[in-house]
Amino acid sequence: MSEPSWTVVVPVKRLDVAKSRLRGALPGVPHESLALALALDTVRAVLACDAVAALLVVTDDPRVAPAVRSAGARVLPDVPDAGLNAALRHGAETAGGPVAGLTADLPALLPADLGAALRAAAGTPGVRHFVADATGDGTVLLAAPAGVPLDPRFGAGSAAAHAASGALPLAGGWPTLRRDVDTPADLAEAARLGLGPHTAALAAPRCPAAAPGCPGRVYGAGMQGTVATFDGATRTGTLLLDDGTELSFPAHAFDASGLRLLRLGQRVRVDRDTAGAIVRVTLPTMD
Ligand SMILES: Nc1nc2c(ncn2[C@@H]2O[C@H](COP(=O)(O)OP(=O)(O)OP(=O)(O)O)[C@@H](O)[C@H]2O)c(=O)[nH]1
Ligand SMILES: C=C(OP(=O)(O)O)C(=O)O
């Protein structure tokens, strides 16, 4: 485990105008509540990441600010209120030290994926690094070492823009980091990876039939699968569920099992809470 050193800057647009391509994705859910849930699940993962020293959320939204503040973030006003890159520059100038800009639409983000990317970004000193989104066109993370301006170029085609500006792409898999959510199809993909509790709480009740691809798909107590990967250092891993989907599990879900390790191929049961968050990965025979 490395020293936490990064300040992460997360810009959050005013909820009434944010995530316009997602409008109506969850019938019956107010759009602002969905946009807020995406941001809160992103923030939750950032704050749980062992490579992160501080989180700055740049926002003027009256619901976002108190919610992220009580989660442990520092809130900065959206100065100069000139879009995403201006907000990121404002946060980065306030930060000092190594700083990373991260989008607020990563509801499946696992702290281990973010931590691995930040550690990789520290690999080439003096250079900015970025992580492209799942399509390869956009950017989810831009990281600058101490003393190097963040110089963000988010927006359409930002992966190419960041590369052209001298930033190096990071090649790790990190599926939960690369899964930004702009459209209903993206939300279904994020659900396949495992939604954070805020988004799952909104999505789950809308999908009682647990249809494949449904954004709210939830595996209830008793869902079984086998261990596909397990990292003893982070206590996280992935499962291959019996319905053929892959599911990442966080450290606290492993810790709740009382087990000392998981073996690849081992059969396990997944317990989730009513909001859909994975609370325990355990042996099928254990209560
Ligand atoms: N503070 C701040 N954040 C912004 C602004 N514009 C975009 N963002 C944030 O930047 C990130 C990436 O933006 P997009 O994915 O394009 O999100 P969006 O503009 O809300 O979504 P669309 O309306 O669908 O384009 C999200 O975390 C947004 O909340 C802005 O003007 N100010
Ligand atoms: C802001 C970006 O795009 P999107 O709207 O696809 O999240 C980006 O990828 O830089």
Give the CATH superfamily of 6-178: Spore Coat Polysaccharide Biosynthesis Protein SpsA; Chain A (3.90.550.10)
d(CA 52, CA 70): 17
Which protein residue has the closest C-alpha to ligand 1 atom 12? 103
Give the CATH superfamily of 184-282: Nucleic acid-binding proteins (2.40.50.140)
Choosing from 154, 162, 186, 187 the residue with most ligand 2 atoms within 8 A of its CB, the one to mutate for a pocket test is 154
Annotated domain spans of the chain:
6-178, 184-282
**Model confidence at 213, in pLDDT bands (50, 70, 90)?**
very low
**Model confidence at 224, in pLDDT bands (50, 70, 90)?**
confident
pLDDT above 60 for 236: yes
Identify the pLDDT of residue 39.
Answer: 97
Q: What is the DSSP letter of 88?
A: H
**Among all ligands shown, which has an atom nearest to the Cα of 103?**
1
Q: CA angle 86-87-89, nearest 5°?
A: 65
Report ipTM for this prediction: 0.97
The response to whether residue 189 sits with its C-beta less than 6 Å from ligand 2 reads: no
pLDDT above 60 for 247: yes
Binding positions are 139, 155, 158
Burial degree of 246 (CB within 10 A; 0-12, 13-18, 19+): middle
Between 270 and 229, residue with greater pLDDT: 229
Identify the pLDDT of residue 265.
Answer: 87
Pocket of ligand 1 from Cβ distances under 6 Å = 11-13, 18-21, 58-59, 78, 83-84, 87, 103-105, 182
**Model confidence at 252, in pLDDT bands (50, 70, 90)?**
confident
pTM of full prediction above 0.80: no
